[in-house]
Amino acid sequence: MKNFRRNRSKYQRGFSLVELMIVIAIIALLIGVGIPAWTYMVQSGNETSAIQNLNTMRTLQAQYASKNQQNFGTFKDLADKVGLDSKFKEGDEPVINGYKFKMVVVPKSSNAPASYKIYAQPQVAEGIQATGGRSFFTSSSASGIKFKEGATDQIDESSPSI
């Protein structure tokens, strides 16, 4: 019995403190490199989603206007009549994938055609919790999607295009 205990304890070795510290240091290094990369990937994905949503809304606005005497629709109108995702019906400024969307629709009058403006701003623009780094804009008169760094609605047709 004594020999059995002696033999068993000879083969049972644990990790030394130095070995454990090296493993912890390697894990910390991987986390330190991984978090900024993960944050960038999430922001990039959110920005791509916002751009795709704006492109979809531009197309749906054209479809809606062709069926409604050249008037443009709100988020609710587009969701109900031409197939915009129902998530956009939630409030005046719905939040989709970390971006707040805002739409301003001006109906046509006797001296001006109808128009719309759509803004997409990151919910959080700075820090580790940032959902995006750029704001986006499109309108009935814009030739495409415009952008500006940060969370701002001070974007117009003169801003750079994507």
pTM of the model: 0.79
| CA–CA dist 80, 31 (Å, integer) | 45
Lay out the sheet containing 146-149: strands in order across: 95-96, 99-106, 115-122, 134-139, 146-149
Query: Which pLDDT tens digit goes with each residue over 30-57?
Result: 999 888 888 889 999 999 999 999 999 9
Contact predicate 38/129, CB 8 Å: no
pLDDT given for residue 140 in this prediction:
93
Query: Comparing C-alpha atoms, which of 97, 134, 139 is closest to residue 118?
Result: 139
Contact 160, 147 (CB under 8 A): yes
